[in-house]
Structures are given as structure tokens and as C-alpha cells.
Amino acid sequence: DAKTTQPTSMDCAEGRAANLPCNHSTISGNEYVYWYRQIHSQGPQYIIHGLKNNETNEMASLIITEDRKSSTLILPHATLRDTAVYYCIVRVANTGTASKLTFGTGTRLQVTL
């Protein structure tokens, strides 16, 4: 699996967009980018994933650069409840292998008033 690099921490004002970057310069053509978050001591929660195209769902948007070497998770209107650790994971989606996710240390997002 490709290695990912994320900033250790970020701050965002409530109501503003939170843009969380992730570098994955060694990503392979068949690897997806996944984002999870973990609110204090709770189980991680899946947010979104993408392969090449930008993706949007009810929680967030995912922007992947054309060369796929980096991506940005966007929370369009951050709230205090979005305060969490955000994990960027790169992984193949091969049903013949186990879905063994590797969680690094992630980015701690603090949303403030």
C-alpha cells in the first residue's frame, strides 16, 4: 500500500470550509484513496473514497489531483461536531485480498467557535 503523509493538526473556524490535505506520491493505478475520521475514542467512521475523479457525498468532498499524488478532503461548513482525527488511507480494492486498512496518526482537526 502507498504511504500517506498528513499534517499532524489543523484548526478551522466553525462555519468555514475545512480542507485536509494528504500526500500519497507512491500511489499505484489500482489504489483508492479513503478517508475515515475518529471522534474522540469512538470507532472510526468511513467518510468517502475515490479513485480518479472528485467525489462528493452528504458528509464531504474529495478532490484528487490529476496525477493522483495528493488529495484534499473538504468539509464545506465545519461544525464543532467535526472535531476529530481524520485518516487518509490508500488501498487497493481487490476482493481477493483482505481489506486490511492501515491507520496512521492522521490529522487532528479542531473546529473552534
Partner 1 sequence: DADVTQTPRNRITKTGKRIMLECSQTKGHDRMYWYRQDPGLGLRLIYYSFDVKDINKGEISDGYSVSRQAQAKFSLSLESAIPNQTALYFCATSDPGTSGRYNEQFFGPGTRLTVL
Residues binding partner 1 (CB under 8 A) = 32, 34, 41-46, 49-51, 87, 89, 91, 93-95, 98-106
Q: Can you read off the three cell numbers belonging to residue 69?
A: 499524488
Residue 79, C-alpha cell as written in the block: 461544525
Q: Let me know: does 77 contact 64? Beta carbons within 8 Å.
A: no
In the complex, least distance from residue 79 CB atom to partner 1, rounded to whole angstroms: 21
**Pick from 100, 101, 106: nearest CA to 37:** 106
Nearer to partner 1, 1 or 14 (CB): 1
User: Whose Cβ is closer to partner 1: residue 17's or residue 54's?
Assistant: 54
Shorter beta-carbon distance to partner 1: residue 13 or 54: 54
Minimum distance between the CB of residue 111 and partner 1, rounded to whole angstroms? 20
60 alpha-carbon distance from chain centroid? 10
Residue with smaller CB distance to partner 1, 46 or 54: 46
Contacts of 13 (CB under 8 A, 6+ apart): 78, 111, 112, 113
DSSP 8-class letter at 5: B
